[in-house]
Amino acid sequence: MKQFYLKQKVFSIRNRYTILDDKKNAIYNASSPMFRSRVLHLNDAKSNETLYTMIRKSFTFRPSYKVIDEAGKMVASTKKKRAFFKRKVEVASVYGDLVIEGNYRAHIFSIKQPDGREVAAINKKRLSWGDTYEIAVYADDHELFYLALILLIDSKYHPKRKRKNSSRRRR
């Protein structure tokens, strides 16, 4: 089992994340290009080489994404499923199908294979500066891919939203 931490930058116009190892060393960075919030790049922290790109599909009723590797090949697509009192996302990938399930408040998630074996667990810290997640990856195969899926969870269930109170002020 490997332990990781995902921290979102608070004061940033675009989505920016840092993924830390168990010794709190930055190993990966993720960011969206300026004015393109539907795209998210997962990069190596040392070389800044893009490892995965996640793109939110346009014109879909439920949020769905496609995951592209560094060679430009699509390796996965996600689809949000309807579930009562919990969050559920199905992932069809070249590494095998996965199911991401979370609680109603979207603070605890698990990534499971169809046979029920858990490959990763995600726990959002309640009191933290910005979104902070503790991640446990149980399967050593494709751990970087699982980290990319966790980035999608944050962008899907905890997006940065601007308040639109200027037009709805109380008088």
Q: What is the pLDDT of residue 171?
A: 38
31/82 Cα distance (integer angstroms): 28
> Residue 168 above 60 pLDDT?
no
**Overall CATH class of domain 2-157:** mainly beta
- CA neighbor of 137 nearest in space, from 158, 102, 108, 110: 110
Task: Select the more confidently predicted residue: 78 or 129.
Answer: 78
Report how far apart, in Å, the C-alpha atoms of 106 and of each of 17, 34, 85, 117 are.
18, 27, 10, 20
- What are the domain boundaries of the chain? 2-157
**What pTM was estimated for this model as a whole?**
0.83
% residues pLDDT > 70 (the chain): 85
Q: Which two tokens stand for residue 95?
A: 């590494």
> 3-state DSSP call for residue 155?
helix
With residue 145 as reference, give the H or E element that holds it.
helix 143-157
Locate tokens 């830390």: which residue?
20
135/50 Cα distance (integer angstroms): 21
Q: What is the pLDDT of residue 87?
A: 84
% residues pLDDT > 90 (the chain): 51
- Give the count of beta carbons closer than 10 Å to the beta carbon of residue 29: 17
Q: Say if CB 149 and CB 135 are below 8 A apart.
A: no
* Confidence class for position 92, pLDDT limits 50, 70, 90: very high
Q: What is the pLDDT of residue 140?
A: 83
The predicted-structure confidence for 96-130, as pLDDT tens digits, reads as follows 999 999 887 778 999 999 999 999 999 988 766 66
The predicted-structure confidence for 11-50, as pLDDT tens digits, reads as follows 766 778 999 999 999 999 999 887 677 899 999 999 999 9
In terms of C-beta distances under 8 Å and separation of at least 24 residues, what long-range contacts does 44-49 make, across chains too? 45/18, 45/19
φ/ψ of residue 28, rounded to 5 = -140, 150
